[in-house]
Chain A
Amino acid sequence: MGRRDRDVRISLQTLRVLDAFLENPADELAGADVHKCSGLASGTLYPILLRLESAGWFTSRWESIDPSSAGRPRRRLYRLTARGLAQAAEVFASFGRGVPA
């Protein structure tokens, strides 16, 4: 585990965010989607997303839509990286829970 991994604070809220992504690791989730899955408040959720993105566990991009035609603003989508998936699997394995293959 590198230096950046040591800076990721694995709290209960962080585990809930990771759990939301581990339901389907290939999916890209916006902050609102993670809120629905984890139930975390936005004041807790967004710092965790940024923290995990800074640590390299997540990657993010803007949704590729035309806001004028879609009728809504574009969202920021987060996705687990391969490294993030491995780290999350390791964390959950330490708690005695497996992750989907």
Chain B
Amino acid sequence: MNGYDLLAALPAAAWSEICLRRLDELAIRLIEHAARHTSPALSQRLQEEWLADLAARAGRLSRLRLAAGCWWAANVIAREYAVTGLAVAGPNKAVAYAPPQAPGFLSPRTVALVLIACLHLALIYFLSIGVANRTAKAPPPPIVVLRAQNPNRTLPPPPPLPPKFAHPKIDTIEPDIPIEVPAETQGPQNVPVDRSQQPNTSATPPKVDRVIGGPGKGFPNTADYYPDASRRLGEKGVASVQVCVDASGRLTSDPAITHSSGNSRLDAGALTLAKAGSGHYRPTIEDGRAVGSCFPFRIRFEFRD
């Protein structure tokens, strides 16, 4: 179980309580650490004084600010004072000033900036892993599975099926009087037809399943054979080329222009492209079998963005 699973397993209320308790502990530890940073004579007094003021503060954020301020104050006091006996001193005890001590490796301002940066990083981290979202959203209600109390109980009978309606039988009444219909009103369907005079439809050739070939896989790109002069001059057009290929997709004869693009350079480019595509044509398929054939196809030279 990784950290994300732990986050998901804990309910939002527990998470908030843990975070708030950690904030309180952080404030107390910060004050204790800050007090120890001052002179030994002052540290006990300042720690007790600051912890008492911390207890008087309402709101965890306010307490944390107080702790951070005490940490700052400890640095200032440690730098400005060298006090002896002030922690237990009475009001009349003498207090001596001392020159400011030499700054340490990190000045208080630098340490404060580092601390602020760390707090921001921690805030960003908690926001990124979704602590705020988890604590803000109430947990979904637990899914309660109710088991059947009496699994052997008999179910009520299903409702009766709707009645089926039978189509009523309609009896036709045969007319007693015979009715004669004139011959011209009977229509041409009753005229006898001489089948022998009709063309024999069975003589038509059988239909062949034929799929005309064309440029196939690996066929060269048109842009690679765009004539340079035409590209510079902005010429474009569509040329139709007739090619004859065998069953393997190779040219069996030189391709020919069947419909010019209107520009000789583009036609020449189309022929060059058609030749370069030998071996990459898709042959014509007849009844599921590749056969050699001739077919036209169009090559479009145009500019694309």
Contact = CB atoms under 8 A, between A and B. Distances in A.
Interface of A: 4, 7, 30-32, 35, 41-47, 50-51, 53-56, 59-61, 72-76, 81
A7 to B, nearest CB: 6
Given A46-B50, A54-B95, A61-B91, A73 B69 contact: no
B265 interface: no
Interface stretch (B71-79, B129-137, B158-166, B217-225): B71-79
B6 interface: no
Interface of B: 45-46, 48-53, 55-57, 65-66, 68-73, 76-77, 80-81, 83, 86, 90-92, 95, 97
6 contacts: A31-B50, A45-B69, A47-B77, A50-B86, A54-B86, A76-B48
Main secondary structure of the interface of B (DSSP, over half): helix
B57 A32 contact: yes
Contacts of B55: 72-73
Closest 6 CB pairs of A and B: A42-B69, A43-B72, A59-B91, A43-B69, A54-B95, A76-B49
Nearest to A53: B95
Contacts of A81: 91
Contacts of A73: 48, 51-52, 55
A42 B70 contact: yes
A50 B83 CA distance: 10
B41 to A, nearest CB: 12
Contact of A43 (B48, B51, B68, B90): B68
